[in-house]
């Protein structure tokens, strides 16, 4: 049964193989090479890559320094409505409150308690819903804080000490320290909340009571209370989102409002709650929260004096709270930015580098496949192409370098003993071949300047030659052409071989890779490997250009000296390159001159030995006569 018939019968297996081919995402495409390389690389491209790599390293260093210093966070700000909240205690470590009363000349009043009564209360209003009768009960309660003249003991933080150090502390009134520490005032919720806590400061005219009877005369009090200013010292916070450990910077400020005996002034001041959420994780999320209060609104209402208060100041929370979310860069984000920077840099460099590399690759390719007619005047000298080709030709691509060198050493050592002229001939052959490889002609040799000019639409004649050769290469890579050529090879087998020869040819084994090829001492075994036909194919591919030219020269002499040359012999000699023919002819002349010189030397040696023999015979005859 034929293979095609078998494939049609096993349809299930064919379906399975087709499904497997479609599903397998790890399937690998076959790799092709160009000029014995997986990809064409140049020193110019490698240098450009190193430049991009250097820029990426610099960018990575900057990003890592930013990650280490915790600077430049990504900040997202949003507001939310504040209805129900937990209570916020106002400690003297995080909050400052002090009251100052001054006259029209802004000079603080001394002995304020003799003229005015300052009441500071923290009040709480709570709503309790009764489910039985569906009514709501409101419970309000206030706690008064005694006041005293401010001193440095009331300043706890450095900013408070600096601020109070500039004031006349005896004229500024603060909350009593012990009471403040024991039961600090609190802020909570808003007006419509179930639990609402606020701070109230009320300024009244001094009245004698059973607990305090040191008020000044009413005329003196009325004279001072005709006009003046109420000043309150409150703490505030500056947002410093660029600071990692201290996003809030506490400051103190004073705000004023006028008062008089003719009006009762109500002041409504709100403090806005600020929440800062910081994600400071290097790889995973690690959230930390900071909270603070900043002064927001200040609203005043005045009415006719009600004989109760001059100033009634309410401080409570604002109905909106702001949240700032700080996200510091993470390692994976840095790697992503480096990858994006790499792609952008490669894209920009490709604009200039790719045309040059493509031109260089095309020149290498067409020089490998074609020869070009180039005038000596227009010859382009000293280029990267020539240097690379010479390096490829001079250096050993495989193990043959050591082996051929050892062969030459052995031959040369024998020739030194027996045939010194033959040694000189071999050296001449090697030098001529080296000269031929160095001065190879009929190739496009582009210098650095010429390479740039050709890449960017200059040197049109050279560019036309490259384009024409590249077009020919592309035409030879046509799939239909390749398949037709394969069929022609199949037909040629039937023309050249008999049936018996064809059967044996079809069963010839595939090339085998010798295990000794990867041995360090393979040069000692190379001659034995060359004698085995199964290794011949692989070793022929590894042979350097020097040895190929030497073998070609030996074959050239044999074919040329044949008496009955075949048609194929004539065709081979005709299609040889002129430069190669000149090389072989020069080598043949040198070889012939060496042979003549060796013959003449041998004749001289023979004549000298014959003359010595005659002289010896004459001497013997003379001795015998005596």
Over residues 230-252, the pLDDT tens digits come to 999 999 999 998 888 889 988 99
How much is the mean pLDDT over the chain?
Answer: 79
C-alpha angle with apex 163: 158 to 166, nearest 5 degrees? 130
> Global pTM?
0.61
The rounded distance, in Å, linking the Cα atoms of 614 and 622 is 12
Residue 552 has pLDDT above 90, yes or no: no
- The residue that leads in pLDDT, 378 or 66, is 66
C-alpha angle with apex 222: 200 to 306, nearest 5 degrees? 45
- The predicted model gives 113-122 an average pLDDT of 91
Query: How far is Cα of residue 202 from the mean position of the Cα atoms in its chain?
Result: 65
The rounded distance, in Å, linking the Cα atoms of 603 and 595 is 12
Which residues lie below 8 Å from residue 97, measured CB to CB, with a gap of 6+?
A: 90, 120, 174, 175, 199, 232, 233, 234, 235
SS3 174: strand
Nearest to 66 by CA among 336, 248, 290, 282: 282
Q: Taking the chain, what is the end-to-end CA distance rounded to the nearest angstrom?
A: 105
Confidence band of 583 (pLDDT split at 50, 70, 90):
confident
Residue 346 has pLDDT above 90, yes or no: yes
Lowest mean pLDDT among 272-276, 366-370, 562-566: 366-370
Nearest to 328 by CA among 73, 75, 77: 73
- The residue that leads in pLDDT, 622 or 590, is 590
Confidence band of 280 (pLDDT split at 50, 70, 90):
confident
Per-residue pLDDT reduced to its tens digit, 436-491? 666 655 677 777 777 777 777 777 778 788 888 888 888 888 888 889 999 998 89
Chain length of the chain: 626
pLDDT of residue 519: 65
DSSP 343-399: HHHHHHHHHHHHHHHHHHHHHHHHHHH------STT---S-HHHHHHHHHHHS-SST
C-alpha angle with apex 368: 363 to 372, nearest 5 degrees? 70
pLDDT of residue 540: 65
DSSP 461-476: HHHHHHHHHHHHHHHH
Radius of gyration over every alpha carbon of the chain, rounded to an integer in angstroms: 52
* DSSP single-letter state for residue 37: B
- The residue that leads in pLDDT, 607 or 144, is 144
C-alpha angle with apex 399: 394 to 402, nearest 5 degrees? 70
State the chain's maximal CA–CA distance in angstroms: 182
Which residues, listed in sequence order, are joined to residue 525 by a DSSP beta bridge?
A: none
The answer to whether 435 touches 441, Cβ cutoff 8 Å, is: no
Confidence band of 508 (pLDDT split at 50, 70, 90):
confident
pLDDT of residue 421: 54
List Cα–Cα distances, 318 to 239, 257, 518, in angstroms: 17, 21, 82
Token pair belonging to 85: 């909240």
Per residue, the 3-state secondary structure of 293-313, as one string, reads EEEEEEEEEEEECCCCCCEEE
Confidence band of 23 (pLDDT split at 50, 70, 90):
confident
Which residues, listed in sequence order, are joined to residue 195 by a DSSP beta bridge?
A: 126
The rounded distance, in Å, linking the Cα atoms of 257 and 180 is 25
* DSSP single-letter state for residue 131: T
Residue 324 has pLDDT above 80, yes or no: yes
Residue 473's Cβ-count burial label (10 Å; 0-12, 13-18, 19+) is: middle
Cβ atoms within 10 A of the Cβ of 213, count?
8
- The predicted model gives 554-583 an average pLDDT of 84
- The residue that leads in pLDDT, 516 or 238, is 238
The answer to whether 463 touches 457, Cβ cutoff 8 Å, is: yes
């Amino acid at each position: 049964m034929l293979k095609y018939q078998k494939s049609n019968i096993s349809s299930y297996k064919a379906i399975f193989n087709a499904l497997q081919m479609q599903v397998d995402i790890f399937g690998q495409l076959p790799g092709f090479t160009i000029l014995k390389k997986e990809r064409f690389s140049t020193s110019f491209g490698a240098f450009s890559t190193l430049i991009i790599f250097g820029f990426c390293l610099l960018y990575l260093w900057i990003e890592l320094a930013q990650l280490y210093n915790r600077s430049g966070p990504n900040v997202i700000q949003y507001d939310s409505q504040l209805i129900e909240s937990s209570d916020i205690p106002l400690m003297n470590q995080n909050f400052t409150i002090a009251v100052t009363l001054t006259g029209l000349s802004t000079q603080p009043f001394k002995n304020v308690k003799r003229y005015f009564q300052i009441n500071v209360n923290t009040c709480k209003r709570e709503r309790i819903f009764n489910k039985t009768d569906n009514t709501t009960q409101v419970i309000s309660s206030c706690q008064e804080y005694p006041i005293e003249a401010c001193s440095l003991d009331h300043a706890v933080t450095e900013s408070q000490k600096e601020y109070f150090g500039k004031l006349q502390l005896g004229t500024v009134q603060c909350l009593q320290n012990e009471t403040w520490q024991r039961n600090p005032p609190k802020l909570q919720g808003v007006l419509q909340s179930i639990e609402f806590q606020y701070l109230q400061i009320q300024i009244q005219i001094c009245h004698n009571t059973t607990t305090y009877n040191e008020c000044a005369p009413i005329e003196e009090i009325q004279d001072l209370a005709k006009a003046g200013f109420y000043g309150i010292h409150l703490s505030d916070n500056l947002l410093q989102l660029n600071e990692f450990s201290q996003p809030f910077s506490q400051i103190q400020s004073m705000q004023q409002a006028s008062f008089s005996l003719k009006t009762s002034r109500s002041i409504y001041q709100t403090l806005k709650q600020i929440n800062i959420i910081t994600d400071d994780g290097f790889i995973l999320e690690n959230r930390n929260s900071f909270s603070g209060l900043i002064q927001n609104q200040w609203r005043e209402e005045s009415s006719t004096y009600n004989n109760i208060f001059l100033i009634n100041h309410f401080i409570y929370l604002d109905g909106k709270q702001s949240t700032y979310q700080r996200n510091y860069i993470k390692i994976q984000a840095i790697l992503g930015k480096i990858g994006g920077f790499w792609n952008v840099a490669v894209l920009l460099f490709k604009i200039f580098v790719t045309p040059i590399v493509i031109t260089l690759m095309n020149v290498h390719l067409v020089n490998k496949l074609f020869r070009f007619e180039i005038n000596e005047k227009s010859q382009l000298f000293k280029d990267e192409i020539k240097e690379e080709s010479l390096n490829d030709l001079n250096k050993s691509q495989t193990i043959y370098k050591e082996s051929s060198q050892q062969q030459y050493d052995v031959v040369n050592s024998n020739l030194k003993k027996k045939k010194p002229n033959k040694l000189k001939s071999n050296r001449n052959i090697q030098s001529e071949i080296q000269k031929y490889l160095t001065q190879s002609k009929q190739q496009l040799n582009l210098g650095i300047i010429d390479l740039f000019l050709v890449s960017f639409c200059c040197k049109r004649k050279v560019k036309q030659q490259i384009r024409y050769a590249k077009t020919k290469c592309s035409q030879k890579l046509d799939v239909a052409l390749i398949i037709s050529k394969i069929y022609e090879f199949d037909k040629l087998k039937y023309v050249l071989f008999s049936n018996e020869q064809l059967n044996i040819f079809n069963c010839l084994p595939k090339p085998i890779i010798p295990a000794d090829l990867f041995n360090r001492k393979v040069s000692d075994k190379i001659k034995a490997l060359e004698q085995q036909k199964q290794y011949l194919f692989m070793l022929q591919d590894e042979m350097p250009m020097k040895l190929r030219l030497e073998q070609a020269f030996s074959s050239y002499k044999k074919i040329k000296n044949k008496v009955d040359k075949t048609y194929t012999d004539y065709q081979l000699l005709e299609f040889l390159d002129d430069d190669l023919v000149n090389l072989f002819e020069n080598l043949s002349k040198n070889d012939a001159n060496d042979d003549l010189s060796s013959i003449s030397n041998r004749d001289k040696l023979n004549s000298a030995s014959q003359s010595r023999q005659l002289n010896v015979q004459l001497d013997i005859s003379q001795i015998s006569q005596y």
